[in-house]
Amino acid sequence: MDTETTDHGTLEHWTPQEVADAFAEDRIILIDVRTPQEFALERINGALLAPMQAFQPNHMPDQSTKQIVFHCGSGVRSAKVARQCLEHGEDRIAHMSGGFAAWKEDGQGYMGTDLATGAPKEMRKSS
């Protein structure tokens, strides 16, 4: 994990593997800030959806028991949302570097859509 000190607190940049490990160990709340349409097509199972276009930092879960980690498609939107949380008063917040694209490239599992049937389908990048 890389960290960045901002004027409002610490922004943590997590790798997909760090996110996958922490999520599997139930240590984080993973929040997807992509659009509902993007989320419907493919998503990380168990991640919550809080689209950036309607994002309000004061409505995020409390971090007293689990840390929040944001993700988006490439890491740009999730970093913006994380910075909003820092400006709103969080002292540390995290996002997944490289976003969902990096998650898939790393070979992590996710729920996709079978384009032939439109049905949900477990996906994983093949080696």
10-residue averages of pLDDT along the chain (127 residues)? 93 98 97 97 96 93 94 97 95 96 96 92 78
Domain holding 77: CATH number? 3.40.250.10
Domain that holds residue 113: 2-123
Quote the Cα angle for 12-14-18, to 5°: 135
The pTM (predicted TM-score) of the whole model is: 0.93
CA-wise closest residue to 119 among 35, 40, 38: 40
Total number of domains constituting the chain: 1
